[in-house]
Chain A
């Protein structure tokens, strides 16, 4: 793993932004969990608790017109593109106030106008989509960068290889970010790959640098993000980043995560990205009262959003038959 570069300057404002971003992600996901327990979230939901530093580090480097593509475990990434919490939680609960008006669900958080280009529920589906969006930016001369987040399990699906290869040969502005949380659903990733690092050890096959970063250290992620996003923006092609992290909960709401050894979970909880960062900020002299206040604000924001969701109506039955086609309707015959 590359150690954080001591000469890399991170401003106070950036540090506060990174901490605030992680606090907001944590508050959002805890609230999504609460709403599930209240019976408001139907179906399933996949929480990014524990993986906040990856989302925070990359989001802090982006331009408003950059494009982020994520998986069903994508609430954090979409929030940090500037989405409000209520449309995210409302979509998890499939209410009329959801960002997709209840027609997408927890696995499809999207707000295109903010560069939150979607959360994709089929493993690997979004990698070539992110590549195509990046190519369009090149054709149009926009200077946009496409960010593509996915899990360790995705590295075993064909789209991973097709997409990384295409981005590499076309030298496209894509940053692929593998969030290696050590488990592909219920199975240890080590049981299903012939190498140690699922993304980084495949990078050389596409002529890319081997990049591994501590995904629980927001500063380290931020530094990697600055480097790779700038490289993409300069037209020097894609990067494949492997961020080592851990999800605090199971794969989805159906999964208590019992297949993980207690000592492993305990060790990673000690390396909770919020604890790590709080400690660093305090050691740098940020007053604890300020940090406490930031945490309170994030929780209050999530609680207010949850109240909006609790009060939100179900989707209008008329929405059932809208938006299949560009004309707003669903007619298929005359």
Chain B
């Protein structure tokens, strides 16, 4: 057991898998000798060499198409897009090619690959380097979507993503890079599609993802002071989606809130709300309430961005106003 940052967990998770399986390779912009612009991949180039850890030109379409081709010919590649906003540059490769090719070839083409990218706001980079794009990927059939909230989960879910035989979008969160926790030594391997209850509670269920898990946990602490017992669920993966965990929680609490960093319309919580409304309406004692970033591009100014992204205070006030 040793303390590990979320930032260093990324290199540890990738390194764990590259050590285990020589078919695992890693490409992206400045990921090699430079160790990544966020220093998330430090040491991998030195450890595994330029044949397996490769810097690319600024060519997002070539990175995404390249890992698809590499996966078609026997490798299990990880491709990094420096910021998750850049998926827009490579969207044909992700949404039209990688997501659909297995289905469209009746299962002939296997694409065991991971697209790893720095997602989310709170770091004042402005509207094209701060977005939470998890919902963009969730709506495309054929993509699995992972967004870890803790250093331990970065390692375990990266292992699960690399070992999965389907394409996985792995969204680590920029705001969490400095987060630390004690993480067990040795190999950590999770499964995709398993949510965890981060904080048990009996009055309300709050479903969150990635950085919003920590916002929800802080809110749960403050809600306790107001006599509200909040259960916080970390979804961890959007596809596959662990519906059982939140449906069971709502059956006990009777109230459901989502805390989402993506903009309002068609955010992942809309699907959660829809499933709850269809499948556990009679367990609910009040409306399902979504707490999201408004339907706006993210501003650069710190005070404006802080207003936009859900805060613990907003979660507390929203829950209390509904109580």
Contacts and interface: CB of A to CB of B under 8 A. Distances in A.
Interface stretch (B34-42, B59-67, B129-137, B153-161): B59-67
A323 B106 contact: yes
Interface in A79-125: 99-101, 103-104, 108, 110-113, 117-118, 120, 122, 125
B75 A140 contact: yes
B25 interface: yes
A323 B66 contact: no
Prevailing SS type, chain B contact patch: mixed
Given A100-B108, A101-B106, A128 B66 contact: yes
Interface stretch (B4-12, B50-58, B312-320): B50-58
A135 B70 contact: yes
Interface stretch (A246-254, A271-279, A291-299, A325-333): A325-333
Interface residues of A, number: 53
Interface stretch (B114-122, B181-189, B209-217, B239-247): B239-247
Interface string A115-144: 001101010011111111111110110101
Nearest to B142: A324
A169 B52 contact: no
A162 to B, nearest CB: 4
Interface string B82-114: 000000000011001100011111111110100
Contacts of A112: 72, 105, 108-109
A199 interface: no
Contact of B72 (A129, A158, A326, A331): A129
Contacts of B108: 100, 110-113
A323 B102 contact: yes
Contacts of A326: 102, 110, 112, 164-166
B193 interface: yes
Nearest to A167: B62
A146 B73 CA distance: 11
A240 to B, nearest CB: 15
A142 B240 CA distance: 35
Given A129-B66, A159-B61, 11 more contacts: A103-B103, A103-B104, A118-B101, A118-B105, A129-B69, A132-B65, A136-B73, A136-B77, A324-B142, A328-B107, A334-B241
